Structure 1
């Protein structure tokens, strides 16, 4: 699969690159370009799926689909709390087609990345290249509002210190925290080393990561134009925000 210039902001292209490397494919949920065939196959094998714009930002246009125990299907979008219920795949697919409006989307296996009070969360891992070496500049959690399917601050999510997530929302002990932080660093650095060759002028990336109930790390996507004002700048302690701003000045 040759990669053209127009494809570098594509989630599907980045997923393909991650899948092709043994260092990173272990972190990747099942991810396909959305079509009637891929959706039908995946919803039969996976009870919960996310559908995302291939080049979307700020969690706009995201759809969550769940296959209920009764074999009905529940659909919810990122800007709605209420969900629609469908008894068959045909009307469900018609609604997905209406919502996606012919644009290119991906469909991705949902990761059960939830706090103990059943709120979705993910982790924003910010990496920069400093003096020729990739380093992790900072990691913060993003916790979604109750009942919401996304975590970004633009749609009600709350940037949260890692320690708060681990101790108050997940009840991790010190050993578990240390192990997970190491996995996050390893995953982030492997991801940016694999993805950076298709962005040769980039010296920073953000890797959005999920963490399941077994503490397995999963890469949702890699952002090649990461912002920090909607994440690290909203933390109560501005230390990580200031650190990343400083590292940006010397990154290359």
Structure 2
């Protein structure tokens, strides 16, 4: 997103575009952001030229509904929808754009750089990071991983994903050493707290946020989006160990 700084209203915080704009405006959060633009033909062409994989997302979407992944390979564009197993193949960008425009014309979409956040067995995952304001300070209430079902392009439990403990992700699915885990956790904590400290002044009545984060094969941390109406029943409540769920429930009683 390019241009001069513009006023941002509270009602715009639900917009992925506007939250990304807020995060881009601060160096301490901008370093964690993948490329993201409003979906139009020019941005579509530029992003496909720049990145091998992109995701199209409804600007105000939830629960991974309406998400589209596009991968560029030699001479082909491969497209998957979050609610379908079918893979569409296109041999030209104009034919691809024609279908994309038809599928996304009902609402405003964004196009985001794809992050290779996959396990050793090529399952997509992300991290749901819950932050709350306690006695005027933002704290991390809990982090869990969300593991996509084999072959799926999204991780949410509403479309077949499974919430798992972070330790299990690091050891069982990524093969991280103790040193790897410590380094990633330090960066994660910095990323989460920077993100909520940047976004929260625009939405001062909110006392909790969720930051959805990707972790690529080089262990680089990426902010996918910041959710200002986070739920815990579709992720933390589904963990086999309910300690994080109960912790967040308690913190909610004292957050303000």
Shorter-chain TM-score bucket reads over 0.9
Name 1:44's counterpart in structure 2. Answer: 49
Match of 1:196, SS?
helix
Residues 123 and 150 in structure 2, CA contact (< 8 A), matched pair in contact too: yes
1:177 to 165, 181, 194: 181
**Cα deviation code 1:150-173 (max 9, x no counterpart):** 000000000010010000000001
* 1:107 corresponds to 2:128: no
Residues 129 and 213 in structure 2, CA contact (< 8 A), matched pair in contact too: yes
1:223 to 224, 227, 230: 227
Task: Choose 3-12 or 35-44, whichever is displaced more.
Answer: 3-12
Equivalences for residues 15-54 of structure 1 within 5 A: 15-54=20-59
Task: Show structure 1 runs of 4+ deviating over 3 A.
Answer: none
Match of 1:8, SS?
helix
Name 1:245's counterpart in structure 2. Answer: 249
**Cα deviation code 1:221-242 (max 9, x no counterpart):** 0000000000000000000000
**Cα deviation code 1:100-156 (max 9, x no counterpart):** 124111100001000000000000000000011000000000000011000000000
**Offset at 1:181?**
1.1
**Cα deviation code 1:148-206 (max 9, x no counterpart):** 00000000000010010000000001111111111111100000000001111000000
Residues 10 and 203 in structure 2, CA contact (< 8 A), matched pair in contact too: no
Aligned residue pair count? 251
**Offset at 1:94?**
1.1
1:68 to 73, 88, 94: 73
* 1:2 corresponds to 2:7: yes
Distance 1:132 1:6, change over 3 A: closer
* 1:124 corresponds to 2:141: no
User: Whole-Å Cα distance in 2 between the matches of residues 68 and 117 of structure 1?
Assistant: 21
Match of 2:14, SS?
coil
User: Whole-Å Cα distance in 2 between the matches of residues 199 and 192 of structure 1?
Assistant: 10
User: Whole-Å Cα distance in 1 between the matches of residues 99 and 78 of structure 2?
Assistant: 11
User: Whole-Å Cα distance in 2 between the matches of residues 103 and 154 of structure 1?
Assistant: 21
**Offset at 1:99?**
1.1
Quote the RMSD (CA, aligned, Å). 0.7
Name 1:137's counterpart in structure 2. Answer: 141
Match of 1:113, SS?
coil
User: Whole-Å Cα distance in 2 between the matches of residues 143 and 124 of structure 1?
Assistant: 11
Match of 2:116, SS?
coil
Match of 2:63, SS?
coil
1:232 to 223, 232, 236: 236
TM-score (norm 1): 0.98
**Cα deviation code 1:45-73 (max 9, x no counterpart):** 1010000000000000000001112x210
